[in-house]
Structure 1
Amino acid sequence: MIQYALKCSNDHQFESWFQSASAFDKLQNARMLTCAVCGVADVNKVLMAPAVRPARKNADQSGPKGPGPLSAPATPAEQMIAEMREKVESNSEYVGSEFAKKARAMHNGDAPETSIYGEANLEEAKKLVEDGVPVLPLPFRPSGKDN
């Protein structure tokens, strides 16, 4: 996994994780990357400072509880994504790798329409879009599904 700092053509900045550098390139070339704030597909990498952990003695001096949680949103865009995640996860069913199959079944009328979210590989996602199945990529990984 690799994390990139990204910026859209409307100057919104955000970060996202990718399976690899080549996975980022494939998504960017297919115009499947969209801004987490405004949704435009003109997204590029920006210069990002490396994440360097402080020495233990310096980390201990950051306060009685340490430097604080890593998951706290740092920007308005991150806050919006955190709120979106909360809504999606509390109002939808996580279907994991069955996402493409279930989304297609609902679209074809073979299954009742419900709100779902899950995972699809690039080819599955492209095929769903080509077939008119209303799907969109989420700007986060589902909770508890990071490993």
Structure 2
Amino acid sequence: MKVLDLKCRQGHCFEGWFASETDFQEQMQRGLVQCPLCGDTCVEKQLSVPRLNLGAKAPCAAGAPDAGTLPAAEPSHEGGSVALQGAWLALTRKIMAHTEDVGDRFAEEARRMQSGEAQERAIRGQASAEDAAQLRAEGIPVIPWAVPQALKETLQWGAA
């Protein structure tokens, strides 16, 4: 298994797991490797620190803190913190899991809920900037939230 540090044109850093270097190159050529935050398929490998498995962990000296219990420093990359990107991605997944996707009927469905014609519930979908502004003017709360294309599709496992 080859774990690579990758970066897209927008500066988002993420990991990719591949069976081999050849597998990585083939997936890149087919456009299958994309940023999980913005969906950009123009990604490049970054320098990675190799993980060496040198056997069992040495026991800690009495009273010394166990390195496994210390908080790890969050690496910061150009374009934002990895921790911040991860938190945004986790929140996006939570939003998707707890809302109904009404697609391009978002504005219409929000108005139906506001007027009592439809059951009130958490929805998500697409609306133009003009529609979103008009909904806000009508007192209907709207929060713009970009959902990466990679989260909208089923994750594929194994060689395609």
What is the TM-score when the length of structure 1 is the normalising length?
A: 0.47
- Which is higher, the Rg of structure 1 or of structure 2? 2
Which has the higher relative contact order, 1 or 2, with Cα contacts under 8 A spaced 6 or more apart?
2
